[in-house]
Structure 1
Amino acid sequence: MVKLLAMVLVICTPFTTFAFQEGETLTESASNELKLDPNRLTIVDFFAEWCVSCRHELPVVNQLYGELSGTGVTFVGVDVDEDIEVGLEFQKSLGLNFPVVNDPKQQLIALFKPVGMPALYYVYQGQVVKVRFGAITDIRSVILDDLAQMGVKL
């Protein structure tokens, strides 16, 4: 009976409860893997070559990375392509300048468990401040608005 109840709870619990959510602290392994600076707000962007929305959003994120240099805001990408060569070629084709951690063994994505791609996690001092899943039509405006709502002076 206990096993049945446990299975029902797992099945009925929304998948988002397993993902890092706003207010939660990242594990030490996730922070270390991403090389996060606790004194900077970092936008962690999960992406993959097969993600159509990622192809549209990443050039804008790349541009924002340059524009926000020196503001205390930075970006780190997580390329979740299982074939590292495919991921590296994708990054090169988009001319990405921001740091990217390649995750071919799916270790980081297993820790974060985003419920959609692309996925943005705003992280400050090891804590998830905001999360966005899925395609965003005007990613530039959304990120800048998010930062303004967080009180970040640009």
Structure 2
Amino acid sequence: MPEADRDLLVAAAWLHDIGYAPELRDTGFHPLDGARHLESLGAPARLVRLVAHHSGAVYEAEQRGLSAELAVYEREDSPVLDALILADMTTGPAGQSFDFDTRIDEILVRYEPGSEVHNAISKARPYLKAAVSRTLDRMAHQPM
């Protein structure tokens, strides 16, 4: 990760699920609710966009009929978003460390087949796996 983006990545990792907070719930779609809250606080636009688009949010927005609302926040296809996806897709809900496939399977077990999350994660799996692979490749090729 370029040094200039490291603090942004850490902030996005800490804040990406803030939209789950009951007092911030508006649409019930946590990436959008979190992004809107951060935007209302004057958070940097790039941080807001990363929270809005973490972990393939576009797939779940489609399932929920919220694509237009999410599209207000431009998605950046970047090493920072890829690294945020890696962090989210290798960490369980209680902070457990998982490999990618185990984490995806854990999500699919937690959410009922046919639910928005189950459907979205199933569709997003190739996109998420590619982001994780790109990040691991970048990490493997960085000089120590």
Same fold (TM over 0.5): no
Higher helix proportion: 2
Structure of greater relative contact order (alpha carbons < 8 Å, 6+ residues apart): 1
The alignment's TM-score, normalised by the length of structure 1, stands at: 0.28
